[in-house]
């Protein structure tokens, strides 16, 4: 994330909201390329992939793709999909928890209905001894997402956690508060286009913030979910844990399906806990474009197939 790559990420995230780009990407070749990052259109396909990952010693977190719903009945339908997904994981005895997006559950339309949807999913997960990770979206939703998770915990639904993004200035304070409240966190760099008013814009600053979040967790012996494909972060976390005699069971590395699969298997082989974020479903476009924005080589692959 130097100046050049920051510019690239921002430009791509800007054009991806445009209808023409959306249409272009909805072609069959776009779908084929997206399939590298998506574990199928159906739950059964995704569970098959999770089974394969299990054989490599890799756990999963299952995500039914979808975000920014335009009608609250759509959110209701996604909620139902999540209830089925939780049952699917239980039936197949898959080593997987669940990830969902608040706007998929209706956060932008009706916060009360969104909370009711998420609460039902988390309760269902608890019945099946499972855990729900509430993904973090862009800054209009940061505080409300944190509030949802706090409210769930206050109701005794402690099998829910969220995500904090190293690129946001506010994260340092959020980490402290949520650690205090014993809320499970996934730590990431951050995937959205955020302004210089709220977020660090250079790679060095984001890296420092990321390492500081990890350190705060490991120092307190709070279970730490480090979600990154970045070798520098992974090596740093391994070395820090070793130097403090923190056992490998006290943290996990998380990576996305389709990315650095050999490294995921290698980490598992070395005895680290590894969890793969496995998305499935037909609403792949926004997820796919965020993956393109993270790495110019992925866009080159798309362009090569276009021309
Ligand atoms: P970075 O992007 O700096 O890349 C380091 C190296 O990793 C690259 O040089 C390349 O080798 C490899 N790599 C990284 N991305 C790649 C890609 N797309 N294609 C191919 N290679 C790639 N964000 C968020 O805002 N909210 C959330 O809830 C989540 N959730 C989440 C879950 C999990 C499991 C992961 C792994 C990530 C997220 N993210 C996220 C995304 C996160 O914020 C961030 O955008 C990406 O992980 C990219 O940053 P990295 O730290 O991976 O490294």
- Is the pLDDT assigned to residue 15 strictly greater than 70? no
User: The tokens 């396909």 sit on which residue?
Assistant: 45
Please give the sequence-ordered ranges of beta strands (E in DSSP) within the chain, or none if there are none.
59-64, 96-100, 132-134, 160-165, 185-188, 224-227, 251-256, 273-280
ipTM of the complex, rounded to two decimals: 0.92
Q: Going by CA atoms, what residue is nearest to atom 14 of ligand 1?
A: 229
What was the pLDDT predicted at 127?
Answer: 98
Query: What's the average model confidence in pLDDT over 84-96?
Result: 98
Tell me the percentage of the chain whose pLDDT exceeds 70.
Answer: 86
Q: Which two tokens stand for residue 2?
A: 């130097």
pLDDT of residue 294: 75
Instruction: Note whether 46 and 33 are same-domain residues.
Output: no
Do 236 and 289 share a domain, yes or no? Answer: no
pLDDT band at 3 (very low <50, low <70, confident <90, very high): very low
pLDDT surpasses 90 at 1: no
According to DSSP, residue 192 is labeled: S
**Tell me: the pLDDT tens digits for 215-271?**
999 999 999 999 999 999 999 999 999 999 999 999 999 999 999 999 999 999 999
Active site residue 245: no
Please pick, among 63, 119, 135, 174, the residue that the annotation labels catalytic: 135
Percentage, residues of the chain above pLDDT 90: 78
Residue 304 lies in a domain: yes
- Please indicate, yes or no, if residue 228 is contained in any of the structural domains: yes
Residue 291 counted as an annotated binding residue: yes
Q: Does residue 216 share a domain with residue 264?
A: yes
Range(s) of the domain holding residue 30: 1-37+284-307
The answer on pLDDT for 300 being more than 80 is no
Let me know whether 19 and 120 are in one domain.
Answer: no
Nearest residue by C-alpha to atom 32 in ligand 1? 227
Q: How far is the CA of 228 from the centre of ligand 1 (A)?
A: 5
CA 227 / ligand 1 centre spacing (Å)? 7
Asked if pLDDT for residue 307 goes beyond 70, the answer is no
Ligand 1, atom nearest to 294 Cα: 18
Q: Is residue 232 part of a domain?
A: yes
In a domain, 230, yes or no: yes
Q: Structural domain tally of the chain?
A: 2
Q: Is 190 annotated as a binding residue?
A: yes
Enumerate helices (H) and strands (E) in the chain, giving the number of each: 13, 8
pLDDT tens profile 107-157: 999 999 999 999 999 999 999 999 999 999 999 999 999 999 999 999 999
Pull the structure tokens for residue 40: 């199928």
186 is catalytic: yes
Residue 193 placed within a domain: no
Of the two residues 284 and 48, the one the predictor is more confident about is 48
Do the Cβ atoms of 194 and 168 come closer than 8 Å?
yes
User: So what's the pLDDT on residue 11?
Assistant: 58
Domain co-membership, 18 together with 123: no
- Judge if 78 and 171 occupy the same domain: yes
What local confidence, expressed as pLDDT, does residue 30 receive? 67
Best of 5, 97, 187, 191 to mutate for ligand 1, by most ligand atoms within 8 A of CB? 191
- The ligand 1 atom at the shortest distance from the C-alpha of residue 233 is 51
Burial bucket for residue 5 (CB in 10 Å: 0-12, 13-18, 19+):
middle
Please check the confidence at residue 32 and state whether its pLDDT lies above 90.
no
Q: Can you tell me which residue has the tokens 């769930």?
A: 152
Q: What pLDDT score was predicted for residue 252?
A: 98
């Amino acid at each position: 994330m130097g100046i050049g790559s920051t510019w690239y990420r921002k430009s791509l995230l800007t054009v991806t909201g445009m209808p023409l780009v959306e249409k272009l990407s909805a072609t069959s070749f776009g779908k084929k390329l997206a399939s590298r990052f998506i574990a199928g259109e159906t739950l059964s396909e995704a569970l098959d992939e999770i089974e394969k990952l299990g054989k490599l010693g890799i756990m999963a977190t299952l995500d039914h793709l979808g975000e920014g719903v335009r009608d609250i009945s759509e959110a209701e339908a996604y909620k139902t999909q999540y209830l089925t997904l939780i049952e699917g994981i239980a039936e197949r005895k898959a080593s997987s928890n669940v990830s969902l997006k608040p706007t998929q559950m209706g956060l932008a339309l009706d916060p009360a209905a969104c909370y009711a949807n998420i609460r039902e999913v988390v309760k269902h997960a608890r019945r099946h001894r499972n855990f729900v990770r509430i993904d973090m979206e862009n800054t209009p939703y940061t505080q409300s997402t944190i509030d949802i998770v706090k409210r769930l915990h206050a109701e005794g639904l402690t099998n829910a956690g969220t995500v904090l993004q190293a690129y946001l200035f506010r994260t340092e304070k959020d980490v402290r508060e949520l650690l205090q409240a014993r809320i499970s966190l996934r730590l990431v760099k951050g995937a959205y286009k955020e302004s210089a008013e709220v977020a660090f814009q250079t790679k060095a600053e984001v890296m420092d913030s990321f390492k500081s979040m990890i350190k705060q967790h490991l120092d307190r012996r709070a279970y730490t979910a480090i979600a990154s494909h970045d070798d520098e972060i992974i090596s740093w976390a391994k070395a820090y844990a070793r130097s403090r005699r923190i056992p490998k069971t006290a943290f996990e590395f998380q990576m996305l399906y389709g990315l650095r699969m050999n490294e995921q298997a290698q980490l598992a082989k070395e005895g680290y806990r590894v969890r793969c974020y496995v998305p499935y479903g037909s609403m792949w476009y926004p997820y796919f474009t965020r993956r393109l924005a993270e790495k110019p080589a992925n866009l080159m692959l798309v362009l090569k197939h276009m021309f």
